[in-house]
Structure 1
Amino acid sequence: MQLIDIGANLSHDSFDHDRDAVLARAREAGVAQLVVTGASREHSPKALALAQSHPGFLFATAGVHPHHAAEYTDEADAEMRALQAHPEVVAVGECGLDYFRDFSPRPAQRKAFERQLQIGADTGKPLFLHQRDAHADFIAMMKNFDGRLGPAVVHCFTGTREELFDYLDQDWHIGITGWLCDERRGLHLRELVKHIPAERLMIETDAPYLLPRTVKPQPSHRRNEPMFLAHIVEELARDRGEDVAATAAATTAAARAFFRLPAA
């Protein structure tokens, strides 16, 4: 069983002391390839460096998350464009809108998102998107680029049925995380994942965040890591009424096609 983790924040400092061991455990758990999320001016270059140090296994995205939108200057735009020139960078983002936290002012979020959508339009690379509590503005801004963008994935989907079908109507992909395993916040996803076409469904850990609450025993450090992708695909397959191997194969094929990854 080969799995592809489409979003792990492996440049996070919680991995600094054992990153090689984390990657070894991921391989042992069936993770054949992994996309390292770049979500800020600081961490996007680090994501690229990790991908370059593990050719064929790690890949990277490059972008500025809405939490960091206030840092999106002309210089930041030039940095993101330079990063996109590297073949190991397989998507633009993580970018989008987050009105739940509002760590950056909403006008700054919209400006940063628009500029990164323009990078997507200019490069043709896939988009790795974030949306939380900003659905209407998110959809409107994406529609401003109709016909000019490559494929898009709404990563770490946690939204409503209406949001899901709006995204599917746009032919976008959906990334599912361990949020699915959260009995407090994720129960609605158990039903919704049945409606995602196999060719547009992908899986991710969002490590070190979102440790699946159904992993037993829970690690004492509470850090999520890519080896738990195997647990997520098992839960996802059960909710979709599928064989685990079938769900694994479909999500891997979807991810490989979306990010244009070589065979592992």
Structure 2
Amino acid sequence: MFDISVNLTNKQFQKDIDSVINRAIKKKVNGMLIIGCSIKDSVSAHNITKKYKNYCWSTVGIHPHYANLWKNNIINKIEKLLKYKNIVAVGECGLDFYRNYSSQKKQLLAFNTQLEIAASYSMPIYLHCRNAFNIFFNVLKFWIHKISKIIIHCFSGNKYELEKCLDMNMSIGLSELFFNKKYRIGSIQDIKLIPKEKLLIGTDSPFLLFKKMYYKIYKKLKGRNEPSLLPNLLKKIVFLRKEKYSILDTQTEKNAFNILNLSINN
């Protein structure tokens, strides 16, 4: 399996990255994508991939939470980082009108510009959307014919939103967020609508370890999620979809490698 959503640059991982990765390997997590949320964060993510080549890859982008930091020179900084082979997608970018840490105007500017960069460099785009789906889709419809590989991670929308994402040829990243009814908008049975070729899985470590769902693990890990827990997520998906663990394990990993254009020779 492959974890498509790891915030390994987060300060919670500063002291024990080696142990975190070793635990993931023991749980048969065969690779992970480290997410860049700012330029500084993207540089740190790339530095980690250099140490764990052929196991870790990363993205470069500006998360909507940091869109207020957007300046024109950021475009050049993103483009310079894209020359590195271990940086395999643009993002995490998109819209977040739930927290609105950045103005909506700045979020839209950063989102559109990063879509343009992904299209210009023929790169996959790694997306975030919360409480902004209608505007999100209206922005994307101008780009879907120019960007062939699109990932929306931590999907928790309703059936209409899921079908719109699939119509736009997106790959759907699921996390524990989808299984928490406090955050999921649609029916949990919507999971069956995702073609297995479009399914991706990610922990969003160190986030999304919900206390009520994982009380014993939560206490042991002091609330910190990590990639070694990815098999727990896959088991839930397998149970709901009534498919074999081994099949979805292999398929979701294959999907990640395909959409991110990965090979162990990167």
Structure 1: any 5+ residue segments left out of the alignment? none
Between 176-185 and 6-15, the greater mean CA deviation after superposition? 176-185
Aligned residues: 262
1:182 Cα deviation from its structure 2 partner: 2.1
Return the alpha-carbon distance in structure 2 between the equivalents of residues 106 and 4 of structure 1: 33
1:186 Cα deviation from its structure 2 partner: 3.7
Q: Deviations over 1:110-151 (max 9, x none)?
A: 000011001101111101000111111111111122421131
1:185 Cα deviation from its structure 2 partner: 3.2
Give the equivalent residue in structure 1 for 2:169.
171
Give the equivalent residue in structure 2 for 1:214.
213
Q: Does 1:185 align with 2:183?
A: yes
Alignment of 1:52-91 (within 5 A): 52-91=50-89
Between 239-248 and 54-63, the greater mean CA deviation after superposition? 239-248
Return the alpha-carbon distance in structure 2 between the equivalents of residues 27 and 128 of structure 1: 24
Amino acid paired to 1:52 = K
Give the equivalent residue in structure 2 for 1:26.
24
1:215 Cα deviation from its structure 2 partner: 3.3
- TM-score after normalising by structure 2: 0.95
For residue 39 of structure 1, give the secondary structure of its aligned residue in structure 2.
coil
Aligned with residue 147 of structure 1, among 137, 145, 148: 145
Aligned with residue 13 of structure 1, among 4, 11, 28: 11
Query: Is the 2:203–2:225 contact (alpha carbons within 8 Å) kept by the matching residues of 1?
Result: yes
Q: Does 1:258 align with 2:259?
A: yes
Amino acid paired to 1:173 = S
Identity of aligned residues (%): 30
Structure 2: any 5+ residue segments left out of the alignment? none
Query: Is the 1:180–1:189 contact (alpha carbons within 8 Å) kept by the matching residues of 2?
Result: no
Amino acid paired to 1:217 = K
Aligned with residue 37 of structure 1, among 35, 38, 42: 35
Amino acid paired to 1:98 = D
Aligned-CA RMSD value:
1.5
Return the alpha-carbon distance in structure 1 between the equivalents of residues 176 and 208 of structure 2: 6
Give the equivalent residue in structure 1 for 2:119.
121
1:180 Cα deviation from its structure 2 partner: 3.0
Query: Is the 1:181–1:187 contact (alpha carbons within 8 Å) kept by the matching residues of 2?
Result: no
For residue 173 of structure 1, give the secondary structure of its aligned residue in structure 2.
strand
Q: Deviations over 1:29-72 (max 9, x none)?
A: 11111000001122010111111111100000010000000111
1:188 Cα deviation from its structure 2 partner: 4.1
Return the alpha-carbon distance in structure 2 between the equivalents of residues 105 and 114 of structure 1: 14
For residue 42 of structure 1, give the secondary structure of its aligned residue in structure 2.
helix
Aligned with residue 137 of structure 1, among 131, 135, 138: 135
Give the equivalent residue in structure 2 for 1:224.
225
